[in-house]
Amino acid sequence: MKPAWHEPFTPEALRYEPNLPVLDEITPEWAWGGSTGRGVRVGIIDSGINADHPAVGGMVRGGVTVVEQGGTTSYDPSSYEDAFGHGTACAGIVHRVAPEAELYAVRVMGPSGGGTGAMFAAGLRWAIENGLQVLNLSLGTTKRDWFAALHDLADAAYFRNVVLVTAANNYPQVSFPSLYASVISVACSDEQDPLRFYYNPAPPVEFGAPGIEVPVAWEGGGYATMTGNSFAAPHITGIVALILAKHPGLAPFVVKTILRSTAWNARHRPTRPGSAADSGE
Amino acid sequence: MAAEAPEDMTREQLLERLRTTEAALAEARQASVDGAFATELRQALIRMGASTQLAAPVATNDLLDLIVRTAAQVLSAQAASLFLIDRETNELVFEVALGESAAEARKFRVPLGQGIAGWVALSGQPVARSDVAQDARFAGGIAQRIGYVPKTVLCLPLRSGDDVIGVIELFDKANGQPFSADNMQVLEQFGAAAAVAIEQARLVRDLAQLFVVVLRGLLPGGSEEAALRQALETRAGAFTERAAQSQQYRDVLEITQLVSEISRQGPEARQHCRQLLASVAEYVRRVADRTSAGGGPS
């Protein structure tokens, strides 16, 4: 059986990679201390957002629904209500980490099933071209047909300083855009502190964030305790929003360097070989 | 065979008559061969149509039951179910339900988007949930109606390519612990096997339907078809039982699963796979030829 993407982040497997000494000055305090994500525009490319859910704290500022009809896609800005709750769950996690970040819903899934690759690509394009700064992609496609189109969009985002944060599939099969080098690919770790994440020196999945037993927004304004890679990516999305609010205009590669330097396992050593990291920053 | 030539026939007339008789004979012989062939063809088509249509769904159901049961055992789950998506109604339909309330559970359909199964079917993302019993809405739904409210759930999508075709769901680990990310990974393997079984069944069902259409075109009257079908039904049932239990069936399934996995990796991987399989087939053929020639493999 192939190892799942979350395995590098288990206490037994976690590697402690020394940082470049000069980068040690990039601390979590420097990177996002005191930040609330204020003013940063975060896109949730998903099933929409239920703007009334207490988990998003009234921070939904707009959005769009991608509609596909007769082989062409169009945008409906009049509604982006969540089709079934997945997008609201992700948005709620971003809000918990970055409470003053502005949330935008880009709905690419409908009430009768997952969206097509075309809807996904169209939603991503809309988000890149409409001034959003961080995009949470807790979904992707396994169809190779979309490799090139999504790769172009990921490059377009990269060159426009739009940070793409993607969830890796739980099972290690190819999935786009989570396996592109230009994105921040995230799998789940068994960690409860929303601001503690790990760096994996063996890509394609570079970061591990809380995704096990996470409280997420659920139907009827409630919450559920869930496990899944879908919930790890929004933690990193939230942290990127915190960083960008404190340090506006950073390019995606700088953001990734900051994440690598502030990852828990880059700043801590195990108390004994093979054991989990000691506590205390 | 030819009648004795009358005295007054000329040699030319005699030869002409002989040629006509030979032609008639050849025609009759061909008609007989054609007739036998047509009958055989017709029966073969009926057999294929009937046996695949009858055998496949039953065999698949047994296989899915086996997959879900083994997954539940391996992960110490108290109950389990497998749903398929009905695209006509946008509902999840129980295909397999195991556990104390399985019989009750089978009666229900779940609208897409509702509950954990509906969420997973729509998002295509696997999830585990550990506080289900605290959720009044969950308890008020199917769970309460069937008298079984789980505390923990692990639910994964079943995929055919990029499309979600159903979900597999496990309930309540024996030790009361939540399902872990490792459990999710293990269930992925069972889910992949189930998805392959479903894909195959659908393919076979489509083929069976095609054969039935062909048969309808070939057979003017329904009586012969009905009689043959009835006779074959009995044999198909026995075949189904044997197929689900046979090692050969499982071996073939595993090979199909591997090929399916490789095929999804793109043209290069497909090309390698094809070349490798062609080499193996060539080797096997050579061995078989030697064996049938009396030499046996060296």
Cβ–Cβ of A174/B125 closer than 8 Å?
no
- What count of residues does chain B have? 298
Q: Which chain B residues are Cβ-neighbours of A171 within 8 angstroms?
A: 185, 188, 192
pLDDT of residue B53: 42
pLDDT over 70 for what percent of chain B? 60
Q: Which chain A residues are Cβ-neighbours of B123 within 8 angstroms?
A: 47, 84, 86, 109, 114, 139, 230
Cβ–Cβ of B135/A218 closer than 8 Å?
yes
Whether pLDDT at B165 is above 70: yes
Give the model's confidence band at B288: pLDDT under 50 very low, under 70 low, under 90 confident, else very high.
confident
- In CATH, the architecture of B58-204 is 2-Layer Sandwich (3.30)
Our CA-based measurement puts residue A30 at a distance from the nearest CA of chain B, in whole angstroms, of 33
**Residues 6 or more apart from A94 whose CB is under 8 A from it?**
A42, A44, A101, A103, A136, A234, A237, A238, A241
Cβ–Cβ of A86/B265 closer than 8 Å?
no
> What mean pLDDT comes out for the span A34-45?
98
Whether pLDDT at B278 is above 90: no
Cβ–Cβ of A113/B122 closer than 8 Å?
yes
pLDDT of residue B229: 56
Our CA-based measurement puts residue A211 at a distance from the nearest CA of chain B, in whole angstroms, of 9
Phi, psi of B158 (to 5 degrees): -100, 125
Each residue's pLDDT tens digit, B24-38: 777 766 666 666 655
**Residues 6 or more apart from A14 whose CB is under 8 A from it?**
A8, A198, A265, A270, A276, A277
User: What are the sequence ranges of the domains in chain A?
Assistant: 36-267
pLDDT of residue A232: 95
User: Which residue has better confidence, B71 or B37?
Assistant: B71
User: What are the sequence ranges of the domains in chain B?
Assistant: 58-204
Size of interface A-B (CB pairs under 8 A): 113
C-alpha angle A261-A265-A271 in degrees, rounded to nearest 5: 140
User: Which residue has better confidence, A12 or A172?
Assistant: A12
Give the model's confidence band at B282: pLDDT under 50 very low, under 70 low, under 90 confident, else very high.
confident
Give the residue on A whose Cα is nearest the Cα of B131.
Answer: A225
Contact between A188 and A228 (Cβ < 8 Å): yes
Q: Which chain B residues are Cβ-neighbours of A176 within 8 angstroms?
A: none
B147 touches chain A (CB under 8 A): no
Whether pLDDT at B105 is above 90: no
Q: Which chain B residues are Cβ-neighbours of A4 within 8 angstroms?
A: 181-182, 184-185, 188
Q: Is the dihedral of CA B276, B282, B283, B285 positive or negative?
A: positive
Cβ–Cβ of A228/B128 closer than 8 Å?
yes
Residue showing tokens 């942290």: A239
As a whole number, the mean pLDDT across chain A is: 90
**CATH fold label, A36-267:** Rossmann fold (3.40.50)
Q: DSSP H helical segments within B219-295, as ranges? A: 223-245, 247-263, 267-292
User: Which residue has better confidence, A217 or B44?
Assistant: A217
User: Which residue has better confidence, B98 or A172?
Assistant: B98
Whether pLDDT at A228 is above 80: yes
Contact between A192 and A215 (Cβ < 8 Å): no
Our CA-based measurement puts residue B205 at a distance from the nearest CA of chain A, in whole angstroms, of 24
Cβ–Cβ of A228/B90 closer than 8 Å?
no
Give the model's confidence band at A75: pLDDT under 50 very low, under 70 low, under 90 confident, else very high.
very high
pTM of the model: 0.73
From the list A139, A219, A227, the residue facing B127 with the nearest CB is: A227
Give the model's confidence band at B295: pLDDT under 50 very low, under 70 low, under 90 confident, else very high.
very low
Residues of A recognised as catalytic: 46, 86, 230
ipTM of the complex: 0.85
Each residue's pLDDT tens digit, A105-130: 999 988 776 677 889 999 999 999 99
Cβ burial B229-257 (10 Å sphere, 16+ → b, else e) = beebeeebeebbeebbeeeeeeeebeeeb
From the list B112, B123, B185, the residue facing A86 with the nearest CB is: B123
Each residue's pLDDT tens digit, B106-123: 777 888 878 888 889 988
Give the residue on B whose Cα is nearest the Cα of A171.
Answer: B185
Chain A interface with B: residues with Cβ < 8 Å? 1, 4, 6, 47, 83-86, 109, 111-114, 117, 138-139, 141-144, 167, 170-171, 173-174, 188, 190, 211-213, 218-220, 222, 224-230
Whether pLDDT at B196 is above 50: yes
pLDDT of residue A47: 93
Give the residue on B whose Cα is nearest the Cα of A210.
Answer: B181
pLDDT of residue A278: 45
Q: Measured between alpha carbons, how far is A10 from B199 in angstroms, rounded to an integer?
A: 35
